[in-house]
Amino acid sequence: MSICGNNPPNPPHECPPPCTHEIERRDTCIDSGEMRHTWCPPDRILYGHEYLKGNEPISWCDFHVEPEPPHPVYPKFKKYSIHLIDLPSYVYNHPEYDLEPLIDRVAQAGASAIHAFGWAGYPPQQYDIEVIPWIWRDGKVDFSQRNPKYEEMFKKLVQVCVDYDVDYRHTMFLSRYNFEIFKRDMNHQGVPEFYSPEGLVVQKEYVLDCIRWYREMGVDEPTFLLMNEPGHYGADETGHIIADWHRTMGDMCVAQGIPIENVWSDGSHSEFVRAWFVGPHECPKEHDPPFIFGREEYEHRPQIAEVHGCSTLRGLMENGAEAFYGSANTKWAVNEDGSEYGSTIAYNPDGSIAFRFANAEEYEKMLQYVKREDDRTGKDSYVVGFPTGMLKLGEGDFSDINAIDWEKYDKYKEING
């Protein structure tokens, strides 16, 4: 029983207190007169509205319905991504470019992420020199001045990827492309080199900026690659420098709440990139006494290391497939990124060969091997497709997305679906 007087039921009735009518309460949509649904706007709801029992609404509101998703939802393969190498530069230099058709097509292929080079500019590449996180002023980089257009480009990429439930995987640094502006005569701060303490300060600020931009766009735990092809070719001293750089940057990201699994490394040209992110082990170079890399907390080898040149099955084997499947590592990333044994050749302007890529038949063989070995061993191979039509840094043209061999990248979906 309830007393109705100050809040009369609907329809109102003349009933002196104490009222003996039984009352039902319903959250009611004003527009339909029915029970409010999940999608009824809060300002159109009468909360706890009272009805005489028998007069209360018993149906859900059919005036407000679940909105259609803004974009189609496609099946995603967590371990598959596509490397659109020069996309940030293109977006930066073409602010009117509509990203949605491209990212929609990426999503259709089943890719859960795109990779891209964060910035590939250095002085000889005038097209790209302004596509850097800092201001280019009077022929030099000013590390004290952030480039607002770069932030806009970054956030535009992240936002469209978020809309399509695709991860934007940012490659923070590119050794041979980024080192130039860290030379003393190329920056106003007089930073003497990339691996100098002064250079590390600048780099840390940039990485923290990227993490902050991600989070401002709603991505709390982004995935990114620390450096593309660090470029250690056997020199012990350089190897240790690369190892320490990756430890410093990786630990900083972890301290910011980024899972170490989301901090990728590229082991294509250096065995030292994740030297600290595995269990304790001796440095492969000779030391007296032995030098111990690694840490107990990473005994389970959580970090994902990427290797390039896996366009074909032969290229995959040459880049350590058997070693991986026979090792204690449980995850790796294989990036198509050219192969000495592919069938499609792309030429530099001077006529030299830049990359070789597999055709669809060869690519399929590589994928089938990866699928079979993953199933056999219980390991996880992350596959990174590399579109052959987007090669030249600073000159990539994304105006025609049909330049990408989508049929080839749909092979992953066919094999793993």
Summarised one tens digit per residue, pLDDT across range 189-240 is 999 999 999 999 999 999 999 999 999 999 999 999 999 988 776 677 889 9
Q: Would you give the DSSP letter of residue 40?
A: S
Q: What is the dihedral of CA 229, 234, 235, 240, to 10 degrees?
A: 60
Among all chains, which residue has been given the structure tokens 């049909």? Answer: 402
Residues 6+ apart with CB under 8 A from 133: 118, 119, 146, 147, 150, 151, 206, 209
Alpha helices in 217-355 (DSSP H): 236-255, 313-318, 321-325
Instruction: Report the distance separating Cα 281 and Cα 285, nearest Å.
Output: 12
Ranges in the chain, pLDDT < 70:
1-19, 122-127, 233-234, 339-356, 388-396
Question: What are the CA-CA distances from residue 108 to residues 51, 72, 330, 335 (Å)?
Answer: 50, 9, 28, 20
Q: Which CATH superfamily is domain 77-416 in?
A: Glycosidases (3.20.20.80)
Q: What is the pLDDT of residues 377-386, one digit of tens each?
A: 999 999 999 8
**What's the whole-model pTM score?**
0.81
Residues 6+ apart with CB under 8 A from 68: none
What's the full length of the chain, in residues? 417
Instruction: Report the distance separating Cα 10 and Cα 17, nearest Å.
Output: 17
What is the structure's pLDDT at 22?
83
- Sequence ranges of the domains in the chain: 1-67, 77-416
Closest C-alpha to 118, from 226, 214, 202: 226
